[in-house]
């Protein structure tokens, strides 16, 4: 199991304990989204464009709501976020990454 990772952002928090990704806040009301790595289908990582903001999205099989986090440019470029995403990808090699 990997080391606990946590990224505190302007709009929410993303955590990973080696098995479960949890996304708190980011415009979601009254709940967080938890996904076990065995259930991850895809990890989308997108840098801001001219008309879009940076985000990371953890898509789970059979989940109605994704673990979506909209990020500032600084948050997106942070080594803490990169480490968290890499740890999730390592734990869930079947979850293809976009971005």
pLDDT tens digits, 16-41: 999 999 999 887 666 789 999 999 99
What average pLDDT does range 72-98 have in this prediction?
89
Instruction: Report the percentage of the chain scoring pLDDT > 90.
Output: 68
Give pLDDT, residue 29: 66
The range of the structural domain enclosing residue 25 comes to 6-63+71-98
Q: Is residue 1 part of a domain?
A: no
> Mean pLDDT, to the nearest integer, of 86-94?
89
What's the number of domains the chain is made of?
Answer: 1
- State the Cα–Cα distance between residues 11 and 87, nearest whole angstrom: 22
Closest by CA to 14, choosing from 4, 98, 30, is: 4
- DSSP letter for 64, please: S
pLDDT at 96 exceeding the cut of 90: no
The verdict on residue 51 lying in a domain is yes
Mean pLDDT of all residues in 35-54: 92
Residue 22 burial by Cβ neighbours in a 10 Å radius (0-12, 13-18, 19+): middle
**Full-prediction pTM beyond 0.85?**
yes
Does residue 76 belong to any structural domain of this protein?
yes
Evaluate whether residue 17 is within a structural domain. yes
Instruction: Give the domain CATH number at 36.
Output: 2.30.29
Whether residue 46 lies inside any domain: the answer is yes
Q: Is residue 82 part of a domain?
A: yes
């Amino acid at each position: 199991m990997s080391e606990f990772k946590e990224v505190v952002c302007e709009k929410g928090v993303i955590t990973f304990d080696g098995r479960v990704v949890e996304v708190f806040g980011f415009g979601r009301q009254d709940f967080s989204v938890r996904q076990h790595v065995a259930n991850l289908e895809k990890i989308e990582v997108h840098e801001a464009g001219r008309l879009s903001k940076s985000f990371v999205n953890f898509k789970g099989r059979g989940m109605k709501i994704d673990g979506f986090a909209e990020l500032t440019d600084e948050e997106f470029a942070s080594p803490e976020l990169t480490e968290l995403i890499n740890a999730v990808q390592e734990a869930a090699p079947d979850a293809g990454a976009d971005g």
